[in-house]
Structure 1
Amino acid sequence: MKQYIIRRLLQIIPTMIGISILIFAISAMVPGDYITAVDNPTMSAEKAAQLREIYGLDKPVVERYFTWLGNMVTGNLGDSLVHKQPVTTVIGNYVWNSFMVAFFALIFSWIIAVFTGVFSAKFQYSLFDKLMTLFVFLCMSLPSFFIGLLLIKFLALDLGWFPVGGMVTSGLNGSTWDQLVDIAWHMFLPVLVLTMLSTGSLTRYFRTSMLEVIRQDYIRTARAKGLKERTVIFKHALRNALLPAITLMGFELPALFSGAIILEKIFIWPGVGQIYLESISMRDYPYMLGFTVFLAILTLLGNVLSDVLYGTADPRIRLK
């Protein structure tokens, strides 16, 4: 197992080189740069040329790539042109705000999806199964901005149960516990929307997997041995039904840190998604490239984690 993990981690190096070439080439093909994105009508051509020289935007694409790659290898992702701070500092300031929302949404969505998928498969074609299927397809088909605006309209504006947006109440000077409660109060609606969107597809995965597993011979054998139905479902069937869903774990890791751009925009949540969208519109290439590489590394590590979890969940799988 250790040799397999080491070998997979070493395979990440050439993959990351290819990813870096691809994303840098795509960013270089985008017309304009940070100077043109600022759109300052009073800026002269000489001043614009001077700024491009300062930021290194006047150099050839190949030279800029190797300069950026060499700095990235040493852990230097450059300075954000918009925030005038190191890219790592900007990511650290905002990524944990997105992580909080994504983490709780991940926990709630997996818990709900597991139990909903199990009982939908157990009581296939029942009223519960039909209602859950209807709810799942509603969550999967409705766009996130529509659900978010709908919840803001009824729960925030009409009923006043939750704030319209933001992360903290302005001017709050309470204890640490009061501040945590205030953040949780502001976080409820974004987490609810993200949970609804994630639960839909996950429930379908678990339901389909459970339907395949509970028809297997070893499940009938377990029931014939007189085991309790709860033991048969949750100890024997569910463990094998989790195997297809483990693949999704590889994509959950970057999702925890990438932020939900649309939801953060709707709920005015100061997460990394908004900053990333701003970096694209403002041609803030150092931040855009640095954060994209960060997500690519998380995706590759997530795939390694999925393979390791396969071997843990199913002893029959041998990693060679």
Structure 2
Amino acid sequence: MKQYMIRRLLQMIPTLIGISIIVFAISAMVPGDYITAKVTPNMTYEKMEQLRQIYGLDKPVVERYFTWAGNMLKGNMGDSLQHKQPVGKVINNYVWNSFVIAFVSLIFSWLIAIFAGVFSAKFQYSLFDKLVTLLIFLCMSLPSFFIGLLLIYGLSLHLGLFPVGGMTTAGLNATGWAYIKDVAHHMFLPALVLTMLSTGSLTRYFRTAMLEVIRQDYIRTARAKGLKERTVIFKHALRNALLPAITLFGFELPTLFGGAIILEKVFVWPGVGQVYLESITVRDYPFMLGFTIFLAVLTLIGNLLSDVLYGVADPRIRLK
């Protein structure tokens, strides 16, 4: 296991180098820069060139890449041109707001998907199975912004049950438990939309896995031994059906910190996804590049984590 971990970590190095080259090359090929995005009618050409020199945008692309990559190796992501702060600090200021929604959505979507998938497979072609399938495809087919706006219109504007947007109530200045309740009240609608979008595909996945497992010989043997159906389903069938899901669970790591760009825009949630979108709009390349590499590292770590967990959960797998 130790040798496998070391080998996989070493394999991440060339992968990250390739990702950094591709991401930087794409950003360099995009027309314009931060100065172009901020240009005003009164700004002269000389002033623009002076600003490019200050921000280091006048240097050749190759030189800028090695400067940026060298700083990244030292743990310095550079300074955000838009926020006038270190990229790491900007990420830390906003990423936890996105993490809260994603984490709550992850817990509820997996719990709902597991139980819905299990019972949908157990009662295949029943009314329950058909209703679950209908709701799944309904949630998967509707875009996130449409569901979000629909919930805002119905639950916020008409019924007044939840705030229209934001993370906290303006001017409340709550602390402690009152602050947590206020954030949870604002978080309900965006977390609900994320849960609806995630539950659909997960439920279909668990249903398919359960249908395959419950037809196995060892399930028929367990029933023939006189075991309770609840024990057969949740102890024997579900345990083996969850093994492939470990791979999916590892890839949830970048999702937790990546932010939901569209939903954060709809619900005016101060998450990192909205900041990332703004960085692309204003050509804030230091933040855009730093956050992209941050997500790439999380993706590689999540991939490694899923492989290791799969080997730990399934004794038939031996990591060599």
What's the CA shift for 1:248?
1.3
Q: Is the 1:77–1:290 contact (alpha carbons within 8 Å) kept by the matching residues of 2?
A: yes
User: Structure 1 residue 45 and structure 2 residue 45: aligned?
Assistant: yes
Q: Which amino acid aligns with 1:25?
A: A
What's the CA shift for 1:5?
1.4
Q: CA separation in 2, counterparts of 1:34 and 1:175?
A: 38
Query: Which digits, 9 at most, give the CA deviation of each residue in 1:46-95, with x for residues without a partner?
Result: 11001101111010000000000000000000000000000000000000
Matched residue SS, 1:243: coil
Q: Which amino acid aligns with 2:234?
A: F
| CA 173–23 in structure 1, closer or farther in 2 if over 3 Å, else same | closer
Residue of structure 2 equivalent to 1:287: 287
Residue of structure 1 equivalent to 2:57: 57
Q: CA separation in 2, counterparts of 1:188 and 1:233?
A: 32
Q: CA separation in 1, counterparts of 2:254 and 2:315?
A: 27
Q: CA separation in 2, counterparts of 1:58 and 1:111?
A: 52
Q: What root-mean-square deviation, in Å, do the aligned CA atoms of Structure 1 and Structure 2 show?
A: 0.8
User: Structure 1 residue 247 and structure 2 residue 247: aligned?
Assistant: yes
Residue of structure 2 equivalent to 1:298: 298
Residue of structure 1 equivalent to 2:172: 172
What is the TM-score with the length of structure 2 in the denominator? 0.99
Q: CA separation in 1, counterparts of 2:194 and 2:28?
A: 33
Q: CA separation in 2, counterparts of 1:181 and 1:150?
A: 24
Residue of structure 2 equivalent to 1:229: 229
What aligned pairs does 1:1-320 form with structure 2 within 5 A after superposition?
1-320=1-320
Query: Which digits, 9 at most, give the CA deviation of each residue in 1:181-219, with x for residues without a partner?
Result: 000000000000000000000000000000000000011
User: Structure 1: which 5+ runs fail to align?
Assistant: none
Q: Is the 1:136–1:199 contact (alpha carbons within 8 Å) kept by the matching residues of 2?
A: yes
Q: Which amino acid aligns with 1:211?
A: L
Q: Is the 1:239–1:313 contact (alpha carbons within 8 Å) kept by the matching residues of 2?
A: no
What's the CA shift for 1:226?
1.2
What's the CA shift for 1:42?
1.1
Q: Which amino acid aligns with 1:285?
A: Y
Q: CA separation in 2, counterparts of 1:173 and 1:13?
A: 45
User: Structure 2: which 5+ runs fail to align?
Assistant: none
Q: Is the 1:103–1:256 contact (alpha carbons within 8 Å) kept by the matching residues of 2?
A: yes
Number of equivalenced pairs: 320
Q: CA separation in 2, counterparts of 1:209 and 1:300?
A: 25
What's the CA shift for 1:175?
3.9
Q: CA separation in 2, counterparts of 1:223 and 1:312?
A: 27
| CA 247–50 in structure 1, closer or farther in 2 if over 3 Å, else same | same
What's the CA shift for 1:250?
2.6
What is the TM-score with the length of structure 1 in the denominator? 0.99
Q: Is the 1:210–1:237 contact (alpha carbons within 8 Å) kept by the matching residues of 2?
A: yes
